Amino acid sequence: MKYVSTTEIGKKWNISTGRIGTLCAEGRIPNVQRAGNMWLILEEAKKPVDARIKSRKYRKQPND
């Protein structure tokens, strides 16, 4: 089990290190460890699924 930093995972997943820190804090990336002010993530960790709504069903429809 090798741990890597948010910078290395960010390059691998093509997302910012700040976003990775947020995902770690929310518990969306399993088996992470906090070392001081740094997150340590398993090298084999999978990128979490995007949880944003994509169906557009949340938008209000105009009154007919």
**Could you tell me which residue, 60 or 33, shows the higher pLDDT?**
33
Residue 56 domain-assigned (yes or no): no
CB 6 within 8 A of CB 20: yes
4-47 confidence digits (pLDDT tens): 999 999 999 999 999 999 999 999 999 999 999 999 999 999 99
Say which residues have a Cβ less than 8 Å from residue 41's Cβ, sequence separation at least 6: 3, 4, 5, 6, 9, 20, 24, 29, 31, 32
Classify residue 10: in a domain, yes or no.
yes
Domain membership flag for residue 48: no
- Position 57 pLDDT exceeds 80: no
Q: How many domains does the chain have?
A: 1
Q: What is the pLDDT of residue 34?
A: 94
Closest by alpha carbon to 15, among 55, 53, 48? 48
Q: What is the pTM (predicted TM-score) of this model?
A: 0.75
Exposure string for 14-23, b = 16+ CB within 10 A, e = fewer: eeeeeebbeb
